[in-house]
């Protein structure tokens, strides 16, 4: 039998990797993928808790997280394409015109 804490730790590890990726990566698309990794870690925690406490709403919430992630991916990638068109680069360090 698998204790609940194992699922939570796996979800937490995925979330932590997402945060690390968000902080250390310089390519916009990879940063975006780290956000998706974070969302996946959270989804695993939702489903694990739903299984543990027999609260089926946890599963349904994962659907909504997936839908929101899809909408966010579509709009975010459109923004990335627009940024690439004007700045000709995908490196976030070079998109710094508003910096002091």
The site for another protein (CB under 8 A) is made up of 1-10, 12-14, 16-21, 23-27, 29-30, 32-34, 36-37, 40, 43-44, 47-48, 50-52, 54, 56-57, 59-60, 62-64, 66-75, 77-82, 84-85, 90-91, 93
CB of 12 to another protein, least distance (A): 5
Residue 95 three-state SS: coil
CB of 96 to another protein, least distance (A): 10
For residue 27, list its beta bridge partners.
91
């Amino acid at each position: 039998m698998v204790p609940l804490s194992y699922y939570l730790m796996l979800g937490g590890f995925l979330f932590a990797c997402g945060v690390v990726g968000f902080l250390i990566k310089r390519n916009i698309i990879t940063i975006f993928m780290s956000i998706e990794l974070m969302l996946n870690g959270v989804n695993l925690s939702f489903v694990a808790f739903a299984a543990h406490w027999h609260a089926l709403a946890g599963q349904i919430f994962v659907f909504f997280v997936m839908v929101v992630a899809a909408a966010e991916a579509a709009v975010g990638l459109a923004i990335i394409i627009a940024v690439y068109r004007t700045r000709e680069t995908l490196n976030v360090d070079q998109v710094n015109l508003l910096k002091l």
